[in-house]
Structure 1
Amino acid sequence: MTDKADTSILLTGASGRVGRMLCACWQDVVPGLALLPQYRRAAPQGALAWNPLDGPGALLDHIAETGRRPAAIVALAGITPGPGRDLSLNTALAEATLDASVAAGVPRVLLASSSAVYGGDGGAPFGEDAPPAPVNAYGTAKQEMEAACAPWRARGLDICAMRIGNVAGADALLRNAVRAGPGGAVVIDRFADGGGPVRSYIGPTTLAMVLATLCRHPGPLPRVLNIAAPRPVTMTALAKAAGARIETRPAPQGAHQHITLDCRRLAALHRFAPGDSTPAEMVRQWRAAGVA
């Protein structure tokens, strides 16, 4: 990646919570690899105004005007669960982004999927070879999105579906801690063994460095890759690291205590720092990003 035209990364979904945190920390932690944020509407200076569903025109115009062709696309743009939201648009957005990548000559797409494709509590951490068994509409939509990538892979596009766990600061727990305010309580489920939920998390700065590693990887990437820090965390420990007061309640029927990811495949590609799995470091990174 020595050519000037191949030293930038296009980040779609820059206006989302994860996208905003990545934009806030990228320049400091990923030197030598410029980030081009994408916004659907009016974009700030240095960003790209482009709606992938309108076709690749705006991206092609940007490349023609600047002479800079992104080395990869990190495709975070998508539809998250919420009233009235059409989750099937996740597939449409992915397909439009893959079409644009081919049209623009961008050889690699890191496509944001979700650990929700695995389903509920599997006991042991989910590895990438575990059969998808989503238990909600969002997980099903992301599974369908992943399956839709096949025609573009057949055309030679390097597509890595990133099954992302929880990103500190974009998750419900830390957002609830912010809403509770000083002295407010965060309510955490208590299971039969007295413990709370255990989840796979990653801090936003660590995520930025992981994405840079994957964008720079010299060979083809795995088709599917779990994205989280190597060791899961308890939600109780994460809430305490954020300074929240904790209240517990009996876990409701159907709640899952362990939903974690086996990240050995990722750890073979990216060298994590010892503190990357600690709640204190994840909270520090979230606060440093300045996205409340």
Structure 2
Amino acid sequence: MLETPVLVTGANGQVGRRVLKAWKRERPSFHVAAVARESGQMWQAWTPDMPPVVSQARAVVGLWGVCFGTLEETRVNLDLARAAQSLATQTGADRVIHLSTQSVYGRSCLLAREAQVLTPASPYGQAKAEMEDMLRGTDGPRPIILRVANVIGADAISRSLAGTAPIVLDRFSDGSGPVRSFVGIADLARIIAALCTCPLEDCPDILNVAAPVDLPMNAILDAAERDFHWKEAPEGALPVATVSTQKLQQSWLPRPQACTAEALYHDWQMFRD
């Protein structure tokens, strides 16, 4: 077990809580110091105006973020990224893992590749694209940007599974429902853990993180044996929003294992609140 801890911010968020649970089940090779604005069972209270909770860190993992709101509101993500970089500088960490999103690809999200031009179509996607641009010019600890697909447990379909309201899915003119890239929490946690401990030169600058198989949303509902209703997709709705995982599949990083609707639903059950 490595003595110098990994410092995790946003531990009380949808992704943060679940990643910590995954690390509790499948312990990484490092200690974890987790923080959030309010204290919890697995994290300490901390805000960016406070001194770091540890004097030294191996890496900083930024799991915080604002997903909803106006562009001005979601631009808080830039401030959080700066705070994570500052935290790494203060604790001697040589890397910061930042969560971005496939939303940076906007409507050009058909097996979107890391090298393509970003064309975000939502305030959240625009703010994350601006965050990435800012980080590319930063000095100090190295930023590692993960463009994460729909995270089971923290995405729209998971909120539907957790609720009791009737579930409604868009249906397109060909009779199909929305197809998306997904990633399970256990797989995301393994990839983050690997990036925290590998030699710095082995880290990618930017990486799409998703299972290699894209799935229709209704397949996950079927796996959960949940009833749902179709409605005609509104104009402008995207039938397919997927990312290429070629770079991840060709890398040394752990391959995602939850690649079926049944496996993703099991992941949701394992790490649900």
Q: What is the deviation of 1:265?
A: 1.4
User: TM-score, normalization: structure 1?
Assistant: 0.86
Q: Which whole-Å CA distance do the structure 1 matches of 2:13 and 2:135 have between them?
A: 23
Alignment equivalent of 1:171, drawn from 155, 158, 173: 155
Match of 2:43 in 1: 47
Helix, strand or coil at the partner of 1:225: strand
Residue identity (%): 31
Offset of 1:45 from its aligned partner?
6.0
Distance 2:228 2:176 in 1: 13
C-alpha distance after superposition, 1:11-46 (max 9, x if no partner):
1111111111112221221342222211113x2466
| Deviation larger for 132-141 or 280-289 | 280-289
Deviation at 1:236, TM superposition (A): 0.9
Q: Are residues 252 and 96 of structure 1, via their aligned partners in 2, closer, same or farther at CA, if it must alter by over 3 Å?
A: same
Equivalent position amino acid for 1:229 in 2: A
Contact 1:121 1:258 in 2 (8 A): no
8 A Cα contact 2:33 2:54, kept in partner: no
- Aligned pair count reads 271
Give the structure 1 partner of residue 200 of structure 2: 219
Q: How far apart in 2 are the matches of 1:3 and 1:246?
A: 47
Q: 2:27 aligns with which of 24, 27, 30?
A: 30
- 2:40 and 2:196 mapped to 1: Cα distance? 24
Cα distance in 1 between the residues matched to 2:143 and 2:232: 42
Return the offset for 1:80.
1.7
Alpha-carbon RMSD across the aligned residues, in angstroms, is: 2.0
Give the gaps of 5 or more residues in structure 1: none
In the other structure, the counterpart of 2:264 is 282
Q: Does 1:87 find its partner at 2:69?
A: no
Partner in structure 2 of residue 11 of structure 1: 8
SS of the residue 2:228 aligns to: strand
Structure 1 residue corresponding to 2:84, chosen from 97, 102, 105: 97
SS of the residue corresponding to residue 117 of structure 1 reads: helix
Q: CA deviation at 1:102?
A: 1.3
Are residues 1:239 and 2:221 paired? Answer: yes
**Using the alignment, how far apart are the partners of 2:220 and 2:153 within structure 1?**
11
Distance in 1 (alpha carbons) for counterparts of 2:41 and 2:167: 38
Match of 2:176 in 1: 195
Q: Distance in 2 between matches of 1:262 and 1:188?
A: 24
